[in-house]
A and B are shown apart, each in its own frame.
Chain A
């Protein structure tokens, strides 16, 4: 009797468990999918719509065609911003990669206290950009930081005033940005280096290849996926970097260190030009998409192409 009575209950329980097993992942993911849909894609759509309207102080649904885009593209500050982004983006990505790889290779030489050193190099990434920006603002200020220190020590010809020099100020942002991110790139490369088959290296050194040659011809080519990931991460960090500039130079002197992100914020929130702000945001999004979409596409397609 007992067994007969319990068996349908058991199967019912089992079917519920099955049902749950199939649907649980979806249920758990549903809130974040919903949030992403509304707050990422919904707002992207909203911003895109705004960029085609005459909105000034508050959103106004009055069609303006591409007027706001024309205004942004004709704006002297936007040109400065785009030019600065080129300088900053290229130098930031390049220097971070070279420095990160170099430190990773040096750390990979089975040295003592590697853990401690790794933590030291990684640590800047744990700081917020505001902290980095403020600290470097003080370090680079000629009346407070490095230059004053050198003068106080008697090296009175020492001269380092990039942060107050209109032509050079953008490079101080590169310095602070590289300081912050190169440790992180190092960690990526170090993980890549640890994944390389040691036997290949041993075989190469038996064949008489020198260590630089091994790195140049064997190890670095194998790190290609790490290069791609680092490139994608650094590029989008460069395009959206905002806090660093705000804290370090406040887009000054004048507006010499303006970036597209500070341009967007200023027009949207402080200059009562919501439409122009939205248009510049859409242009930034398209730039990021131009880099991310091919990458994501290759990531999704990657396994399939390699399987045959």
Chain B
């Protein structure tokens, strides 16, 4: 008797479970992303809660792994098997690649209703749109031409943020003599490319950067100015410790946090590491622009690309897009993530000093035409060209026998070949 009761209870339980699962799938959106570290996960929880308030379940598909390589591998398999998720975290030209294959949906209706065109800067929405139609919702803007510095070391040696590259060299010398590592770096191709963003901008200014890395003009790519950028890279290498090969970026950041190294050239996701370690901007650490890039802004932006889905799922997808573009969400999310909002109309009052500076600089850069997509993070040139240039940059950086002139020659050749 007792047994049969237990059995029927179990069966009832299973049925009720199935019931809830089915109910959930009707009103659920699946989001593939690679935000798994502490700060990132907290930031994303804001979006999850928002969606729940709007009455939609959140099916989380996190795929761990820094730059999202693993996530993209999974996405490819899902797309090939004909069941893409509603939304996927994506960067720059990758969105365009998927849109070109005709896999992304159309967000125009909600975009025009909420006036996205008015609040998202054009250099950014260039990546969220394909042939003039919105296909993705931008979440944030990261800046890559930052230097993060340990304030204690700077104070002790009476240093000020360098304004020119020569000053940077002089500052590095003093730091080296005092027994610290001047520049922390991790030897991975994308980190070297991140430095290259700044070196090109510093050597040639925003116009040159655009000609060379965005318009891929062979004349600019093969110029003496480009040689200077490669020469800067090799000088920067001299400021590092010899054991940087293969080091992760956050390990390099922790060298600055712990006072082993004085500076790191890295995007503002590095700020998250400082904050997590309980450090405060302008008290424990400094944030300033790479010398001679003041006023310019190399950005990358995380976006959620929306895939073409059936009508039953479209409602949830639109709600997700609307939730992402919500002002309140963009503020809360970006404070937690360390970036700044993709909308220009969010107030900066609640951001920290570095965030405020970033937001102010963004407005100036947009006016002056110096808001530029980051080459290192896939916002300057198509993926296939980018990876070819990566090879040249990382080769030049790791093999000092390759002269800047040779690198420039190589650069012109690979860009031509992979166009």
Mark contacts of B97-122 with chain A using CB atoms, 8 A cut-off: 1 yes-contact digit, 0 otherwise. Answer: 11011010000000000000000000
B75 to chain A, nearest CB (A): 10
A152 at the interface (CB under 8 A from B): no
Given known pairs A59-B80, A77-B391, A252-B188, the reply for A137 and B246 (CB within 8 Å) is: yes
- What is the CA–CA distance of A166 and B97 in the complex, to the nearest angstrom? 34
- CB pair A57–B246 under 8 Å, yes or no, is no
A197 to chain B, nearest CB (A): 51
A208 at the interface (CB under 8 A from B): no
Residues of chain B within 8 A of A169, CB atoms compared: 245
Residues of chain A within 8 A of B383, CB atoms compared: 271-272
Pick the contact of B391: A76, A137, A250, A273 (CB < 8 A). A76
B74 to chain A, nearest CB (A): 10
Pick the contact of A254: B76, B100, B397 (CB < 8 A). B397
- CB pair A255–B394 under 8 Å, yes or no, is yes
B335 to chain A, nearest CB (A): 31
Mark contacts of A128-150 with chain B using CB atoms, 8 A cut-off: 1 yes-contact digit, 0 otherwise. Answer: 00000000010001111000000
Residues of chain A within 8 A of B398, CB atoms compared: 166, 252-254, 256
- CB pair A164–B245 under 8 Å, yes or no, is yes
Given known pairs A166-B398, A253-B187, A254-B398, the reply for A57 and B241 (CB within 8 Å) is: no
- CB pair B245–A249 under 8 Å, yes or no, is yes
Give the interface centre of A59, A142, A163, A254 by most chain B CB atoms within 10 Å: A254
Could you list 21 examples of A-B contacts with CB < 8 Å? A56-B384, A57-B100, A57-B101, A58-B103, A74-B417, A137-B246, A164-B243, A249-B246, A250-B188, A252-B187, A252-B188, A252-B398, A253-B245, A256-B398, A269-B69, A269-B72, A269-B73, A270-B387, A271-B383, A272-B383, A272-B384
- CB pair A272–B97 under 8 Å, yes or no, is yes
- What is the CA–CA distance of A95 and B384 in the complex, to the nearest angstrom? 39
The tally of CB-CB contacts under 8 A between chains A and B is 82
Residues of chain A within 8 A of B188, CB atoms compared: 250, 252
- What is the CA–CA distance of A58 and B101 in the complex, to the nearest angstrom? 8
Find the B residue at minimum CB distance from A74: B417
- CB pair A56–B97 under 8 Å, yes or no, is yes
Pick the contact of B98: A57, A249, A252, A271 (CB < 8 A). A57
A198 to chain B, nearest CB (A): 51
Find the B residue at minimum CB distance from A273: B384
A243 at the interface (CB under 8 A from B): no
- What is the CA–CA distance of A252 and B188 in the complex, to the nearest angstrom? 7
Residues of chain A within 8 A of B8, CB atoms compared: none
- CB pair B384–A142 under 8 Å, yes or no, is no
A161 to chain B, nearest CB (A): 7
Interface residues of A in 247-293 (CB under 8 A from B): 249-250, 252-256, 266, 269-273
Residues of chain A within 8 A of B189, CB atoms compared: 252, 254-255
B399 at the interface (CB under 8 A from A): yes
Residues of chain B within 8 A of A164, CB atoms compared: 187, 242-245
Find the B residue at minimum CB distance from A76: B391
- CB pair A161–B242 under 8 Å, yes or no, is yes
- What is the CA–CA distance of A59 and B410 in the complex, to the nearest angstrom? 30
Given known pairs A57-B97, A76-B391, the reply for A166 and B399 (CB within 8 Å) is: yes
Find the B residue at minimum CB distance from A137: B246
B129 to chain A, nearest CB (A): 18
Residues of chain B within 8 A of A59, CB atoms compared: 80
B79 at the interface (CB under 8 A from A): yes
B190 to chain A, nearest CB (A): 11
Residues of chain B within 8 A of A252, CB atoms compared: 187-189, 245-246, 394, 398
Given known pairs A249-B245, A271-B384, the reply for A58 and B395 (CB within 8 Å) is: no
CB-CB nearest 8 A-B residue pairs: A254-B398, A143-B243, A253-B398, A164-B245, A254-B394, A271-B387, A272-B383, A269-B73
A46 to chain B, nearest CB (A): 11
Give the size category of A's interface with B: 20 to 34
Given known pairs A249-B245, A254-B399, the reply for A270 and B394 (CB within 8 Å) is: no
A270 to chain B, nearest CB (A): 5
A136 to chain B, nearest CB (A): 12
B179 to chain A, nearest CB (A): 16
Residues of chain B within 8 A of A77, CB atoms compared: 391
- What is the CA–CA distance of A249 and B69 in the complex, to the nearest angstrom? 17
Find the A residue at minimum CB distance from B382: A272
Mark contacts of A63-85 with chain B using CB atoms, 8 A cut-off: 1 yes-contact digit, 0 otherwise. Answer: 00000000000101100000000
Interface residues of B in 239-254 (CB under 8 A from A): 241-246
Residues of chain B within 8 A of A269, CB atoms compared: 69, 72-73, 76
Give the interface centre of B101, B103, B244, B384 by most chain A CB atoms within 10 Å: B384
Give the interface centre of B101, B243, B245 by most chain A CB atoms within 10 Å: B245
Mark contacts of B198-226 with chain A using CB atoms, 8 A cut-off: 1 yes-contact digit, 0 otherwise. Answer: 00000000000000000000000000000
Find the B residue at minimum CB distance from A247: B246
Residues of chain B within 8 A of A143, CB atoms compared: 241-243
Residues of chain A within 8 A of B397, CB atoms compared: 254
Residues of chain A within 8 A of B391, CB atoms compared: 76-77, 255
Mark contacts of B79-101 with chain A using CB atoms, 8 A cut-off: 1 yes-contact digit, 0 otherwise. Answer: 11000000000000010011011
Interface residues of B in 401-419 (CB under 8 A from A): 410, 414, 417
- What is the CA–CA distance of A180 and B266 in the complex, to the nearest angstrom? 37
Residues of chain B within 8 A of A255, CB atoms compared: 189, 391, 394-395
Residues of chain B within 8 A of A256, CB atoms compared: 398-399
- What is the CA–CA distance of A45 and B350 in the complex, to the nearest angstrom? 58
Find the A residue at minimum CB distance from B398: A254
Interface residues of A in 188-238 (CB under 8 A from B): none
Interface residues of B in 351-366 (CB under 8 A from A): none
- What is the CA–CA distance of A249 and B187 in the complex, to the nearest angstrom? 10
Give the interface centre of A59, A142, A166, A249 by most chain B CB atoms within 10 Å: A166
Apart from A166-B398, A255-B391, A270-B73, 7 more pairs, CB < 8 Å: A58-B76, A58-B103, A76-B414, A77-B391, A252-B189, A266-B387, A272-B97
- What is the CA–CA distance of A266 and B245 in the complex, to the nearest angstrom? 19
Residues of chain A within 8 A of B246, CB atoms compared: 137, 249-250, 252-253
Interface residues of B in 384-398 (CB under 8 A from A): 384, 387, 391, 394-395, 397-398
Find the A residue at minimum CB distance from B396: A254
Residues of chain B within 8 A of A266, CB atoms compared: 387
Find the A residue at minimum CB distance from B393: A254
Residues of chain B within 8 A of A142, CB atoms compared: 242-243
- What is the CA–CA distance of A76 and B395 in the complex, to the nearest angstrom? 11
